[in-house]
């Protein structure tokens, strides 16, 4: 089901954007107050995402170039991963919780209309990004969880489906067999073991030629999590955040570490203070390390987890930074490419 934000809503948003078109130079300068940091030029169609979003940024920019709203374009971009059975970190085929049940999280923000929507621990629905957008569009709420979120989705015609693929079930069964030597599950041979607790998510941020910005993050969350656990992805201000006057940011990686610093929000605030996107992401990661409890740090004081931020500013400048080496996807209006994130701790 593809729910576009209503034409009426967006005519309103477009009119508002047109009205502010004359404003950005002054309003933006006043809001950002960072001499020399932002060149005042019009934003181009740009999308930045986690590396698994290489097809998503391509799709999002193509749609925006044809006139799609920035959030609608972003949702269509992330849906490619949600519907891909081979992406074990998002939507259909995502890895389940410790009981073998797939529980999905997603959140989104639409800059021009200053609205947000999110779902957490949603079961049986392949595209939580669309459900988050429905929360944004049709309710006075921001976050729906669990059964309530599922019933809400089904009221719009979504089907309740089995989200486990044969492959994701196999990965879960092997994890369950090997999780402890004292339990009653016979261990799988080490040589047959699959990757231990793989992580993943897609965050995608978009801007169009009018400087309208949106962000979206969707995930199956930490593999084999405790049932009911919600990560950072459905938390507005953590998994993603947009302020249409400044920019957008989102993350992938250990959600709990991000929630501790409200990383999406903090990265946008760093940009408000004048940092460029990559520096803003790095500054947020430094805060993450400062707030990490000792049990999650190695003897050198480095985190035992990965976390990556992706950011875009009002001018369409973009960047990403990760605790350890990683990559991201970007389409700058010309072509989609994979680039290296800046790194907090180079090996």
| 56 or 200: CB nearest ligand ASP | 200
Decide if 201 is catalytic: yes
Q: What DSSP designation does 54 have?
A: H
Site string for ligand ASP, 171-210 (x = CB under 6 A): ----------------------------xxx---------
Residues 222-251 that bind ligand ASP (CB under 6 A): 222, 231-233
SS3 159: coil
Asked if 221 is part of the footprint of ligand ASP (rule: CB under 6 A), the reply reads: yes
| 52 or 208: CB nearest ligand ASP | 52
Provide the token pair at 228. 């009911």
By DSSP bridging, strand 202-207 and strand 213-219 are: antiparallel
Asked if 263 is part of the footprint of ligand ASP (rule: CB under 6 A), the reply reads: no
Alpha carbon distance 217, 5 (integer Å): 18
Kindly state the smallest distance separating residue 88's Cβ from ligand ASP, in Å.
11
Tell me the site size for ligand ASP, rule CB under 6 A.
13
Kindly state the smallest distance separating residue 259's Cβ from ligand ASP, in Å.
8
Asked if 94 is part of the footprint of ligand ASP (rule: CB under 6 A), the reply reads: no
Asked if 74 is part of the footprint of ligand ASP (rule: CB under 6 A), the reply reads: no
The strand order across the sheet containing 143-145 reads 143-145, 115-122, 104-110, 213-219, 202-207, 46-50, 327-331, 336-340
Kindly state the smallest distance separating residue 22's Cβ from ligand ASP, in Å.
39
Count of other CB atoms within 10 angstroms of residue 301: 10
Answer whether 121's CB lies under 8 Å from 145's CB. Answer: yes
Asked if 218 is part of the footprint of ligand ASP (rule: CB under 6 A), the reply reads: no
Between helices 128-138 and 146-155, what is the axis angle to 10°? 80
Catalytic residues: 201
Binding site for ligand ASP (CB under 6 A): 199-201, 219, 221-222, 231-233, 252-255
């Amino acid at each position: 089901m593809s729910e576009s934000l209503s034409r009426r809503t967006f005519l309103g948003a477009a009119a508002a954007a047109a009205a502010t078109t004359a404003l950005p130079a002054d309003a933006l300068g006043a809001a950002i107050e960072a001499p020399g940091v932002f060149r005042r030029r019009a934003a181009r169609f740009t999308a930045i995402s986690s590396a698994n979003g290489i097809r998503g940024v391509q799709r999002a920019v193509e749609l925006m170039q044809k006139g799609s709203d920035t959030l609608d374009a972003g949702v269509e971009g992330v849906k490619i991963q949600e519907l891909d059975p081979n992406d074990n970190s998002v939507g259909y085929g995502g890895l389940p919780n410790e009981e073998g049940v797939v529980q999905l999280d997603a959140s989104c923000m639409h800059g021009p209309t200053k609205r947000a929507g999110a779902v957490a621990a949603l079961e049986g629905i392949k595209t939580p990004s669309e459900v988050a957008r429905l929360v944004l569009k049709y309710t006075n709420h921001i976050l729906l969880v669990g059964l309530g979120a599922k019933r809400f989705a089904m009221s719009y015609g979504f089907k309740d489906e089995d989200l486990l693929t044969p492959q994701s079930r196999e990965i879960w069964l092997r994890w369950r067999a090997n999780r402890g030597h004292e339990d009653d599950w016979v261990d799988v041979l080490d040589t047959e073991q699959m990757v231990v607790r793989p992580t993943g998510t897609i965050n995608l941020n978009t801007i169009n030629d009018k400087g309208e910005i949106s962000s979206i993050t969707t995930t199956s969350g930490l593999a084999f999590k405790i049932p009911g656990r919600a990560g950072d992805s459905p938390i507005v201000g953590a998994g993603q955040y947009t302020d249409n006057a400044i920019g957008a940011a989102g993350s992938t990686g250990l959600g709990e570490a991000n929630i501790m610093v409200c990383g999406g929000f903090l990265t946008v605030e760093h940009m408000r203070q004048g940092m460029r996107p990559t520096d803003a992401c790095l500054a947020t990661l430094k805060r993450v390390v400062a707030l990490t409890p000792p049990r999650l740090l190695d003897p050198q004081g480095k985190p035992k987890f990965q976390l990556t931020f992706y950011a875009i500013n009002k001018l369409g400048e973009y960047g990403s930074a990760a605790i350890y080496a990683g990559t991201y996807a970007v389409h700058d209006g010309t072509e989609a490419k994979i680039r290296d994130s800046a790194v907090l701790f180079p090996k």
